[in-house]
Copies of this chain bind each other. A is one copy, B any other.
Amino acid sequence: MNKTFLVGLPEASIPTPALVLDAAAFERNLDGMDAFLAGRRVALRPHAKTHKTPMIGHIQMRRGAIGLCCATLGEAEAMIYAGLDHILVTSQVVGEDKVRRAAALARWADLMVAVDSRENLRDLSREAAARGARLGVIVEVDVGMGRCGVRSPEDAIRLARAASELPGLVFRGLMGYEGHAVFIGDRADREDAGRKANAGLVETAEAVRRAGIPVEIVSAAGTGTFDIAGDYSGITELQTGSYIFMDLTYGKLDLPFEYALTALATVISRPGPDTVVLDCGMKSISVEREPPRPLSFPGLEILKLSEEHATGRILPGAAELRPGDRVKLVPSHCCTTVNLYDEIFVVRDGRVEAVWPVEARGAR
């Protein structure tokens, strides 16, 4: 249901639990990224898996992003159907139905997909060629994360060559996400791990070029490594996603971004002298890393999430919380929190300024 009828009303009119975006903080985060990019050659292709929200994708494009990353083909469909273009699907698109969908979608937009196997390339080529589509291919390189991606320059060259030669495909370049580096707390250690990963990727790109295959795109980075990869020579674009919202995990690093996204919760019970229960559990905020924390209520500690409850305690000397009071919780992981909601309430100066549909929620 479209909830824009709440626009202009006070934040207190938002039914809880709800996803709330502080418009000013969000804009400062965008400004922070723009400030980094200004004067540098590296481009930004921000990851839409974080927001799944076409309106935010458009805002990023208007500020100069060269396209978007998507984690699933369904996300790419949602973004393209909302007018966005130049989409890189950062996961392998595998299975008959998915390959068909990717090939068909490539008729309507500049679409690239991550590939790490020859069989997948052949399938994509067959379906794209059958439709007269030209599907972009980015060869994924495992730069140390141990997930998807080829694990040697030779394999990268082999796939790049196949992608260059097979009908219906256009080889565009390489990606290597340093997911094992993005959360390292110590700045020097993070730089080491990030640069090592970037080096592996850039060297693989050089090897592909030496084999006579032009490499246009060399794509890397998460929010924890955006400035490391952004200054690494040979990386052409950043896949950073969470910088727009931030979360407790990235909040531990020394990043020029602030908490913009929270889950707005209501106190529903005060069953004991220091016990507080909020209406915001695992179905409304991420649970996989650590409990959420109140944005601006240091006297409340969240101890435990159940499905629809957050149970916490009021620390000695803290202000009182009564049933009906509202608290903003910062999630430990913004991307999975967004995935639990159908809309983002955008708030400025205490009032709802917009309600953006999380169009790609559940899109696979």
Chain B positions within 8 Å of A199 at CB level = none
A364 to B150, CA, bound (A): 43
Given contacts A17-B364, A142-B271, A308-B72, contact A287 B287 (CB under 8 A): yes
A49 to B272, CA, bound (A): 26
A322 to B95, CA, bound (A): 11
A13 sits at the interface (CB 8 A): yes
Given contacts A287-B287, A336-B282, contact A92 B269 (CB under 8 A): yes
A85 sits at the interface (CB 8 A): no
A22 sits at the interface (CB 8 A): no
Are B147 and A309 neighbours in the complex by a CB distance under 8 Å?
A: yes
Chain B positions within 8 Å of A324 at CB level = 94-96, 119
Chain B positions within 8 Å of A268 at CB level = 91-95, 148
- Name the one of B16, B49, B282, B335 contacting A364, with C-beta atoms under 8 angstroms: B16
A311 to B142, CA, bound (A): 13
Are A271 and B116 neighbours in the complex by a CB distance under 8 Å?
A: yes
Q: How many copies does the complex hold?
A: 2
Are A287 and B288 neighbours in the complex by a CB distance under 8 Å?
A: yes
A320 to B306, CA, bound (A): 38
Give the number of chain A interface residues (Cβ < 8 Å): 60
A275 sits at the interface (CB 8 A): yes
Chain B positions within 8 Å of A91 at CB level = 268, 279, 308-309
A186 sits at the interface (CB 8 A): no
Chain B positions within 8 Å of A212 at CB level = none
Given contacts A268-B91, A269-B148, A271-B150, contact A13 B277 (CB under 8 A): no
Residues of A that sit less than 8 Å from B by CB: 13, 15-18, 49, 71-72, 91-98, 116-117, 119-120, 142, 146-151, 179, 266-272, 275, 277, 279, 282-284, 287-288, 305-309, 311, 322-324, 335-336, 339-342, 362, 364
- Some 26 contacts from A to B, beta carbons below 8 A apart, are A13-B97, A15-B95, A15-B98, A71-B308, A91-B268, A91-B279, A92-B277, A92-B279, A94-B267, A98-B266, A116-B269, A117-B269, A119-B323, A146-B311, A147-B269, A147-B277, A147-B306, A148-B277, A150-B271, A151-B271, A151-B272, A284-B364, A287-B287, A288-B288, A339-B340, A342-B362
